[in-house]
Each structure stands twice: as C-alpha cells, then as structure tokens.
Amino acid sequence: MQDILSPAAEPQHARFHRQTILPPPEKTPQWGGADAKDAAAPRGWRGVAAAQEDWGELNTGKGAPALFVLDAGGWTVTKLAGLPEDHSCGQPVWTPDGAGLVFVAWPHAPLNFPATKRRLGIVFCYNRPCSLFHAPYAPPPAASKDAEPDAGAADAAAEAAPAEDLTGGQLLSAFAPVFSPEGGRLVFLSQDAAARSGVHSGTVSLHSLGWPSSEGGPAAKTVVPVIARPASPGSFPGLYAGGFPEAAFLSERVVLVNSQWYSQGVALAVDLETGAVAPVTPLGAEHGSWTVQGVCNGVIAAVASRPSSLPELLLAAAPLDLSAPAADAGSPLDLLAAAAALSAPSAWRPVAELAVADLAASLPDAAAAVEGVEAVLMEIKPTTGDKTLTFQSVVQAPKDRSGPCPVIVFPHGGPHTAVAANYYMPFAFLTRLGYCVVAVNYR
C-alpha cells in the first residue's frame, strides 16, 4: 500500500491528500456448511474478495489506489468526490488556491489495446494511457464530538459530480502535474506518442495548461514536442523524463527537468513560452551524469557522479536572467545564453560538510574499487541500416590491466532507454574483479 501525504497550498497547511488502496468492493459468497456458531455441520467460509485484475509487476495482489483528504483541523478523512470509476488514481497535487486536486488516473481497460481488458502493467510500461483530472474539494460539515459518522453523507460525497478530465480529449497520456510558483500554469509530461505507437519508452513531450482551467477552454499547449530524430549528431535528443524535481521552477516561465542526453544524465531548463531547451549542467561524459534535486531561494542543488567517482551533492546560484521577475513578463529571454553559466563546471560547488575526508584511509577497498575504474565513451558508427546516426557505448575497464581482459556486455532494457555514464556499484564491482563492462546504448 502506498500512502502519500502532501499539504494543501493554503496558509494554514491544514489539509493533506492521501493516496491509498481501496478495500475489496464486495465479499465473496459463503461456501460450505452453516454459519451458526453451535451448528453440527461444518462452518461455512468466504474468500478474501472477488478476484480482480491487478497491475502486476511490483503491484501484484494490490487493489486500485484512490485519493483521500485528511483535514488536520478536525482529523477527518474524506474520500475525494468524483473519482472516475475503473481507474487507478495517483500523483495528486493541490490547486494553487487549495480548493481542489489535480491528479492522474489510469484506466483499468487499456484504451490503446481494445482487444484485451487486462491491466498490462504500469511500473515499467510507460505507454499506458492516462489523463489529468481536476476535482474540487469541499470540507465535510463539522460534526459534534459525540455524533455518529454519517455513512450516507460519505456515500453521497463520493457520488458527487465527476471530476473534470483536463486532457483526455487531446492526449492519450498525461502525468507528473506541477503548478508554477504563481499558479498561472499547470505543467505536465505526456507519453502520447508511446501510447499511440506502442513504443515501450519513447521520448516524452512537455505541455502547459493555463490555470484556472475552464471547461471547453484552450487546449494544453505543447511546449516541447516529441523528437523523432535529433536534428544533427550530438544535438538535443528529446526529453526522457518521468517527472519533475521537487521545487522545479527557476521562475514562473522557466522549469527544470532531469533527462538523458545520449549516454549522460543532464538537467535541462525549459522556457515555457518559447519551448527553448538548454542544459544547465555540464555536457560531456568526462563530467559524469547529473540530477537536479530542487531549487530554493535562488540556489540549485544537484547530485553528480562518474563511473570512477561516488555521487556528491553540488550547489549553484541560479542566473538572474532565469530567475528574475522580468523573465516572467513576456520579455525576450535568451535561454541558451543564460543557461550557459550553469553548464560550466566552475559554476557548481560541492557541499564540503558532506564530502568524505579520506576515503582511502577509512574504506581502502571501496576507494580502490572506485579509483581503479577507467571509463570511456565510445562512438560507434553502424555498418548496416541507417549509417548516418551513431550510437554510444559506456565502457568501464580496470586501470591496472596489463593486457586483454574478459568482457561482459550489458544490454539494457527498454528498448528506448539508455545507460548513463554515472557511478553504478555492480559495474564497479565487476571492474574490480578484472572484467571490462560494455554497456551498449543501441538506437
């Protein structure tokens, strides 16, 4: 069971949303003998619940999640009204005024596979249809301390007007909703191309919806479309992301998202008005892979690592061109120039208090395993098929090798994913044993 508590966007922070699994909707019939305690015949028995399809993978045996609201003022828990039937609901966020929730709902019957009613997995299958919904939240009326719970009122609330589908008429996939700092934009990601084509994990698109939304109002704006093919070798390959960092906005106009840039994990800044995309962490395999953790008071926190170095926390000041209020007023913004300051390694400083003072003295074996890795990024030109677009392999080998060493080839899954050039303990372990590890990022 997954429980998520998140405060409402209101001054008193008195309400929290909770995602939890619903109990079985009905009991099974009674089988066997009499149910009377003192009867001579064998007692009857019931099953746990009627058999239901589940999502499989890591959710085998679990029911469908739903959304509840905990009011910390009266410590009451209320199921959010209007949830769509035969859907699993999750990823809730409060609306800027705290009067409702925007959430993601996955239909149990896959819309892109109408021949089956089975739930075909959701953890590793990103081409599952889903939509964003908005449901208002009305606090239940205050009850006296000694009053009995009103089950009828709870049922009536659950059967209230259905939640508004914000994206179902436009996109076959919408997830990871976040509101901009001033609440004027609802930003989210979409695997619409994957859901329509069946591709397991393609590039995502990024969208923006003006808020508050109105029924029949403007459709969501496509900020960053799906990139079917990079414009040139080494150019922007598209977004490969499953969500946004915590506190992801540099301003009302600029949002950060972690993605994959060929064989490197990077953080990107996206201009929500023009769709311009620019790296805000250093590019190049020699700099390893980066993941932005969040933004607070003009400071960006990120974690970086290389195959030969452990992860470390680094901080950088957000450029004024990206975080100043003037950047939100519709004035021109040269995102590439502003982000260039962050893409320089000198812009980032490690947090000294978290650094390991002397790894070789405290953990000599671990230090040898990390420092004994030599990593290179190989560019490979195909000899068959499309020969114009190269692909890469991340190669890790022992530094102290004196000749050829045995090779382990690591083919990743996906297939539209990639192995990043970062620290990965199993690869470091195999390299320490004398193996050369080749992780091929095939197209």
Domain residue ranges of the chain, discontinuous segments joined by +: 14-21+53-140+155-224, 359-440
Contacts for 411 with CB less than 8 Å, ≥ 6 apart: 440, 442
Contacts for 139 with CB less than 8 Å, ≥ 6 apart: 15, 71, 78
Tokens of 350: 């490690």
Q: What is the pLDDT of residue 120?
A: 76
Q: What is the pLDDT of residue 144?
A: 56
Tokens of 314: 């680094």
Q: What is the pLDDT of residue 27?
A: 64
Q: Which residues of 392-424 are buried (b: 16+ CB within 10 A; e: fewer)?
A: bbbbbbbeeeeeeeeeeebeeebeebbbbbbbb
CA-closest candidate to residue 190, choices 169, 204, 200? 204
> H-helix or E-strand containing 132?
strand 131-136
Amino acid at 16: F
What are the CA-CA distances from residue 205 to residues 226, 237, 348 (Å)? 5, 12, 29
- Helix %, strand %, coil % of the chain (to 5): 15, 35, 55
CA-closest candidate to residue 398, choices 381, 375, 420? 375
Q: Please, how many CA atoms are within 13 Å of residue 90, restricted to the half-sphere of its CB?
A: 18
Q: What is the pLDDT of residue 206?
A: 98
Cβ 127 vs Cβ 121: under 8 Å: no
What three-state secondary structure class fits 103? strand
Block residue for tokens 């390991």: 356
Q: What is the pLDDT of residue 280?
A: 92
What are the CA-CA distances from residue 258 to residues 143, 238, 293, 399 (Å)? 46, 11, 9, 31
Instruction: Output the pTM of the full model.
Output: 0.84
Cβ 63 vs Cβ 26: under 8 Å: no
Q: What is the pLDDT of residue 52?
A: 72
Tens digits of pLDDT across the chain (443 residues) = 344 455 554 434 466 666 666 666 666 667 666 555 555 555 666 666 667 778 888 888 788 889 999 888 778 888 999 999 889 999 999 999 999 999 999 998 888 888 887 887 777 777 889 999 999 998 877 655 555 555 555 455 555 689 999 998 889 999 999 999 999 999 999 999 888 887 777 789 999 999 987 766 678 999 999 998 888 888 899 999 999 998 999 888 999 999 999 899 999 999 999 999 999 999 988 899 999 999 998 899 999 999 988 889 999 998 876 766 665 655 667 877 878 788 889 999 998 776 666 666 777 777 777 778 889 888 888 888 888 878 889 999 999 888 899 999 998 876 667 889 999 989 998 998 999 999 998 76
Cβ 204 vs Cβ 239: under 8 Å: yes
Q: What is the pLDDT of residue 439?
A: 93
Tokens of 266: 């990077």
CA dist., res. 392 & res. 441, Å (int):
5
CA 12 centroid distance within chain: 28
Cβ 412 vs Cβ 418: under 8 Å: yes
Could you tell me the sign of the dihedral formed by the alpha carbons of 297, 187, 324, 226, in that order?
A: positive
Block residue for tokens 């949303």: 17
